């Protein structure tokens, strides 16, 4: 029987799926697809970076190695015979949506939310004011950020936001060089942080302790820092009347525990550690103040109070009380935002791909675009923890399977994995396969063992190419061009 007549998803005619983005959602979706009964599926996963794992490699803090163990699960998924990885292949650069339509029955976009939301206040672009995500990408060795400079010669730094990313940044700034050396933090960051003269770190939350976005293990962990005392001003730690009433009405153990941990910091005594981390609540920056050279010297804060909305949540409201906090460095961590993908409908209001439960919608008809799907942060916005992407990916895959059963798939001209690889190799001769990644991983781990660290990361693409023998002396090897 010719493959053209066989059922899509059968052994004779596998379902061909492209997953754009090699982060947790991409892997979870691949896992759900491989787990389907009576389905033969071939998955090609693309990433703009040479390395897989998305934010697990580039976002999760280097001193949180345990959570990175999830990569063992991703490797198991990637070990499926129907799985291929094409690193350094970017949608809009090496490939277009049309290329993917010509080669796959279904396309899943899982590119995450990569940019920081802005605070929208005067002085935001002064020297010394940075998005927290850039600092995170820098210390995690993201190739696009390894040449960034952060002035760690100042003594005082403010981090705007009290989510887990803000806490990560604060913790990394507080860690001693010895603590950092035990992690897989990028070498350039380790060196720069060794020279750091930062003494005072402020975390600034616009709401109260009960509404803070950080989770309890994260705030609890701050108390275990070897190099920094954690301080919360008692007036900031106390729960206001409305928060107290809300907790009484709807008791919630996690929130009660959160308030207790913060109280314990407020009652604690400084022990003379070299650094001090102060967590502030009910304050919001209204302006960054600069000097004559355009460098941040202070952040102007307004004091907030909480008010109850009709839907029962407590929202901050500015008062007429202000203060100025002298700082030489500011990191903003007030939320992430997705970036549009070329050729893919985007919902500007929520900063996500326009979709309904994972099916990409046509912007005019509001009907699903056949064969196009989305998952993870670029589908629902930046919410939840890493594992939240697992049920999220499942929802999308259920839609993909429903559509497949109903015969709603793309009709690619090419249904041949080898032909697709030839096309990709033509566009990006120096792509990275999963085997390439395994070899890089081994080298990184080996370098780590030699240095007594979990791993030493490659932070530049040319170093990765050289390490794998893909280029020598800046020239591409002949076999890389072979089809």
Partner 1 sequence: MNIASILAKKGTEVFTARPEQSLREALSLLAQHNIGALVVVDEVERPVGLVSERDIVREAARNGQLFGASVASIMTCDLIVAGPREDLNSVASIMTARRIRHLPIVDEDKLVGIISIGDVMKAQRDEYQGEVDTLQIQVLSGPTGTARTG
Residue with tokens 């895959």: 397
Applying CB under 8 A, among 313, 438, 449, 463 the residue interacting with partner 1 is 313
For the chain, the C-alpha Rg in angstroms (whole number) is 24
Stretch that binds partner 1, among 142-150, 158-166, 179-187, 305-313 (CB under 8 A): 305-313
69 lies in the site for partner 1, by CB under 8 A? yes
Q: Which string of x and - marks every residue 140-169 that binds partner 1 (by CB under 8 A)?
A: ------------------------------
Contact between 269 and partner 1 (CB under 8 A)?
A: no
Length of the chain: 483
Q: Could you say which of 38, 241, 271, 349 contacts partner 1 (CB under 8 A)? A: 349
- Phi, psi (deg, nearest 5) at residue 321: -100, 130
For residues 174-213, which are near partner 1 according to CB under 8 A?
Answer: 211
Nearer to partner 1, 366 or 475 (CB): 366
Q: Give backbone dihedrals phi and psi of 361, rounded to 5 degrees, phi first.
A: -105, 150
- Considering only CA atoms, which of 34, 29, 17, 45 is closest in space to residue 81? 34
Least CB distance to partner 1 at residue 76 (A): 9
To 10 degrees, what angle do helices 70-78 and 24-34 make?
Answer: 50
Q: Are 247 and 255 in contact (CB under 8 A)?
A: yes
- Longest CA pairwise span in the chain (Å): 78
Nearest distance from C-beta of residue 343 to partner 1, angstroms? 19
C-alpha 295: how far from its chain's center? 28
Which residues are CB-contacts of 38 (< 8 A; sequence separation ≥ 6)?
Answer: 9
* Tokens representing residue 212 in the block: 């803070």
421 burial type by CB count under 10 A (0-12 exposed, 13-18 middle, 19+ buried) = middle
**406 in contact with partner 1 (CB under 8 A):** no
361 binds partner 1 (CB under 8 A): yes
Q: What residues from 244 to 263 belong to the interface with partner 1 (CB under 8 A)?
A: 246, 249-250, 252
Give CA separation, 431 vs 43, 346, 479, in Å. 16, 28, 13
Q: Toward partner 1, which CB reaches closer, 123 or 399?
A: 399
One character per residue 362-401, x = contact with partner 1 (rule: CB under 8 A): ----x------------xxx-xxxxxxxxxx---------
Cβ neighbours of residue 316 under 8 Å, at least 6 residues apart?
Answer: 206, 207, 282, 284, 304, 305, 306
| Piece of the chain touching partner 1 by CB under 8 A; list 170-178, 277-285, 343-351, 424-432 | 343-351
Task: Identify which of residues 153 and 383 has a Cβ nearer to partner 1 in the complex.
Answer: 383
Nearest distance in Å: CB 352, partner 1: 5
Shortest separation between residue 164's beta carbon and partner 1, angstroms:
11
Number of residues that bind partner 1 (CB under 8 A): 44
Q: Residue 275 CB, nearest distance to partner 1 (Å)?
A: 26
User: Please, which residue, 388 or 466, has the CB nearer to partner 1?
Assistant: 388
Report the helix count and the strand count for the chain, using DSSP H and E: 17, 22
Strands 471-472 and 475-476: antiparallel
Tell me if 436 contacts partner 1 by CB under 8 A: no
CB of 75 to partner 1, least distance (A): 10
Site membership for partner 1, residue 264 (CB under 8 A): no
Q: Residue 141 has which token pair?
A: 């060795």
Binding site for partner 1 (CB under 8 A): 66-67, 69-73, 211, 246, 249-250, 252, 309-315, 347, 349-352, 354-358, 361, 366, 379-381, 383-392
């Amino acid at each position: 029987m010719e493959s053209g007549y066989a059922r899509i998803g059968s052994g004779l005619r596998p379902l061909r799926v492209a997953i754009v983005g090699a982060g947790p959602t991409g892997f979870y979706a691949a896992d759900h697809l491989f787990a389907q009964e009576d389905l033969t599926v071939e998955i090609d996963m693309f990433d703009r970076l040479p390395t897989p794992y998305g934010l697990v490699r580039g976002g999760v803090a280097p001193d949180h190695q345990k959570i990175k163990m999830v990569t063992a699960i991703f490797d198991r998924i990637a070990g499926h015979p129907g799985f291929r990885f094409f690193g350094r292949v970017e949608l809009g650069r090496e490939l277009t949506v049309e290329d993917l339509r010509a080669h796959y029955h279904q396309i899943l976009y899982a590119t995450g939310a990569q940019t920081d939301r802005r605070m929208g206040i005067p002085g935001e672009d002064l020297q010394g004011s940075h998005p927290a995500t850039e600092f995170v990408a820098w210390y995690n060795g993201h190739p696009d950020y390894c040449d960034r400079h952060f002035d760690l010669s100042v003594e005082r730094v403010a981090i705007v936001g009290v989510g887990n990313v803000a806490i990560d940044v604060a913790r990394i700034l507080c860690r001693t060089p010895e603590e950092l050396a035990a992690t897989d933090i990028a070498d350039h960051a380790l060196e720069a942080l060794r020279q750091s003269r930062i003494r005072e770190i402020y975390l600034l939350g616009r709401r109260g302790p009960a509404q803070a976005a950080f989770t309890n293990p994260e705030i609890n962990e701050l108390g275990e820092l070897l190099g920094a005392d954690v301080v919360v001003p008692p007036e900031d730690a106390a729960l206001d009347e409305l928060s107290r009433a809300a907790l009484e009405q709807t008791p919630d153990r996690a929130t009660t525990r959160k308030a207790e941990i913060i109280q314990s910091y407020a009652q604690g005594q400084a022990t003379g550690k070299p650094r001090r981390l102060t967590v502030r609540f009910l304050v919001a920056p209204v302006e960054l103040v600069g000097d004559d050279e355009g460098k941040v010297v202070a952040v102007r804060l307004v004091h907030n109070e909480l008010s109850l909305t009709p839907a029962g949540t407590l929202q901050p409201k500015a008062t007429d009380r202000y203060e100025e906090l002298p700082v030489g460095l500011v990191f903003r961590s007030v939320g992430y935002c997705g970036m549009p993908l070329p050729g893919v409908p985007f919902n500007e209001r929520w900063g996500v791909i326009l979709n309904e439960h994972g099916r990409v919608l046509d912007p005019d008809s509001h009907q699903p675009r056949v064969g196009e799907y989305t998952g993870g942060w670029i589908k629902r916005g930046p919410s939840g923890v890493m594992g939240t992407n697992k049920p999220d990916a499942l929802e999308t895959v259920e839609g993909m399977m429903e559509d497949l059963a109903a015969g709603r798939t793309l009709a690619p001209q090419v249904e041949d994995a080898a032909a697709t690889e030839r096309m990709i190799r033509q566009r990006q001769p120096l792509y990275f396969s999963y085997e390439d990644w395994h070899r890089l991983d081994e080298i990184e781990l080996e370098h780590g063992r030699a240095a007594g660290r979990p791993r030493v990361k490659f932070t530049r693409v040319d170093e990765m190419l050289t390490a794998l023998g893909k280029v020598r002396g800046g020239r591409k090897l002949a076999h890389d061009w072979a089809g």
